[in-house]
């Protein structure tokens, strides 16, 4: 299969940034002397855990919903996501008086269900498979004419997520690298495009848990691969790339680093203990990558995108003192 997507332009990203700016937080960039000493480099943490809904996902969701016409808004929007994208769509829909339908597996965690209901969205439960989700979405669209907003296979989402790196590089124009995690590829695609358009000297490194390394495998094979399992604590990174996000990654990524679950948990603990900030497992992957690659990163200026801070405090992975 040949992928030939029209990639979003610099103008698309600039207009997305202008469109959403007043609704989202300009998140802080934090540093830690002790972590810098540990890595031997200067690390800058772009803290999207302090973003609305506790994750960067509100950027793409707001960008998509603000481009709907009145009829589409009235019919409502639908997405399938038990995580941060679901919350983001629910909140953005509430802001702009649209109805949101969120398709979630029956076994979703209770706090996530409560959070989405708290934003006034209607939850429709489905079975556990990807096919269950798709059928439920299709049925709902048939019934309601709701407008579907995919979590990442959508240029409005990619352009929205791109604004995180744009904002980051405006504040820190001389980063050698930005490290960001790869799930379905919305954030990393946006990050790659923003670097190409606004700061081509900044190289983009992607990170995946070894258990869900479809992007790494796809790059190696040259064609899109799917994750065989979703066996990772990084619940934000279980999705597989689409042809759209793969084509952007293929053409723009500097490197993909894969990390183990143990490396991720160790990195999460390091950030919690040294920086006193709550980051979710998916975000800890970028710290893990910096620890793993410290020899190569020595003396560099490195931006880390901390994607979110939504964790289940009743199921934390800190059982042994691991470093």
Question: Distance between CA 130 and CA 126 in Å, rounded?
Answer: 10
* Interaction residues for its own copies, span 50-89 (CB under 8 A): 50, 54
Q: Is 318 in the site for its own copies (CB under 8 A)?
A: yes
Binding residue for its own copies, selected from 86, 209, 281, 309, defined by CB under 8 A: 309
Alpha-carbon dihedral sign for residues 291, 297, 301, 307 = negative
Residue burial 189-212, b: 16+ Cβ < 10 Å; e: rest: bbbbbbbbbbbeebbbbbbbbebb
Terminal-residue alpha carbon distance, the chain: 45
82 is catalytic: yes
* C-alpha–C-alpha distance, residues 106 and 112, integer Å: 12
Could you tell me the smallest distance in angstroms from the CB atom of residue 190 to its own copies?
22
Active-site hit among 16, 81, 82, 242: 82
Mind giving me the DSSP string for 132-181?
A: HHHHHHHHHHHHH-PEE--SSSSHHHHHHHHHHHHHHHHH-TT-SEEEEE
Cβ at position 41, least distance to its own copies in Å:
21
Radius of gyration of the chain from Cα atoms? Answer: 19
Shortest distance (Å) from residue 95 CB to its own copies = 13
State which of residues 6, 69, 107, 110 lies at the interface with its own copies (CB under 8 A).
Answer: 110
When asked if residue 6 is in the footprint of its own copies (CB under 8 A), the reply is no
CA atoms lying within 13 Å on the CB side of residue 126: 22
Q: Of 4 and 33, which has the nearer Cβ to its own copies?
A: 33
**Is 314 a residue that touches its own copies (CB under 8 A)?**
yes
Q: Which of residues 119-158 bind its own copies (CB under 8 A)?
A: none
22 binds its own copies (CB under 8 A): no
Binding mask 219-258 for its own copies (x = CB under 8 A): ----------------------------------------
Beta bridge partners of 257: 207
292 counts as catalytic: no
Q: Could you give the C-alpha distances from 178 to 175, 303, 305, in angstroms and in order?
A: 7, 4, 7
Among residues 17, 42, 52, 57, the one annotated as catalytic is 57
User: Count of residues binding its own copies (CB under 8 A)?
Assistant: 20
If one asks whether residue 272 binds its own copies (CB under 8 A), the answer comes out as yes
Q: Can you read off the two tokens belonging to residue 164?
A: 């995180």
Q: Enumerate the active-site residues.
A: 57, 82
Positions in the binding site for its own copies (CB under 8 A): 49-50, 54, 110-111, 269, 272-273, 276-279, 309, 313-314, 316, 318-321
């Amino acid at each position: 299969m040949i992928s030939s997507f029209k990639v979003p332009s610099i103008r698309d990203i600039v207009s997305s940034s202008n469109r959403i700016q007043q609704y989202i937080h300009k998140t802080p960039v934090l540093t830690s002397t002790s972590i810098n000493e540990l890595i031997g480099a200067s690390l800058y943490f772009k803290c999207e855990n302090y973003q609305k809904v506790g994750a960067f996902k509100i950027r793409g969701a707001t960008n998509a919903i603000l481009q709907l016409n009145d009829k589409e808004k009235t019919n409502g929007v639908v997405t399938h996501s038990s995580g941060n994208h679901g919350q983001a769509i629910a909140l953005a829909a509430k802001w702009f008086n649209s109805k949101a339908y969120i398709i979630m597996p029956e076994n979703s965690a209770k706090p996530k269900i409560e959070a989405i209901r708290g934003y006034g969205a209607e939850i429709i439960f489905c079975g556990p498979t990807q096919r269950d989700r798709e059928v439920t979405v299709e049925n709902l669209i048939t019934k309601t004419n709701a407008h579907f907003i995919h979590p990442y296979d959508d240029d409005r989402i990619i352009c929205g997520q791109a604004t995180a790196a744009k904002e980051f590089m405006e504040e820190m124009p001389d980063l050698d690298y930005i490290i960001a995690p790869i799930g379905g590829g919305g954030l990393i695609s946006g990050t790659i495009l923003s670097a190409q358009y606004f700061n081509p000297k900044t190289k983009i490194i992607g990170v995946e848990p070894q258990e869900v390394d479809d992007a790494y495998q796809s790059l190696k094979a040259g064609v899109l691969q799917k994750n065989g399992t979703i066996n990772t604590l990084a619940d934000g990174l279980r999705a597989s790339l689409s042809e759209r996000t793969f084509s952007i990654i293929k053409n723009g990524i500097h490197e993909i680093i894969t990390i183990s679950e143990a490396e991720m948990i160790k990195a999460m603990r390091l950030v919690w203990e040294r920086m006193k900030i709550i980051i979710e497992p998916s975000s800890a992957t970028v710290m893990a990558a910096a620890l793993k690659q410290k020899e190569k990163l020595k003396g560099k200026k490195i931006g880390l995108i901390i994607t979110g801070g939504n964790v289940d405090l009743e199921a934390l992975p800190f059982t042994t003192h691991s470093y």
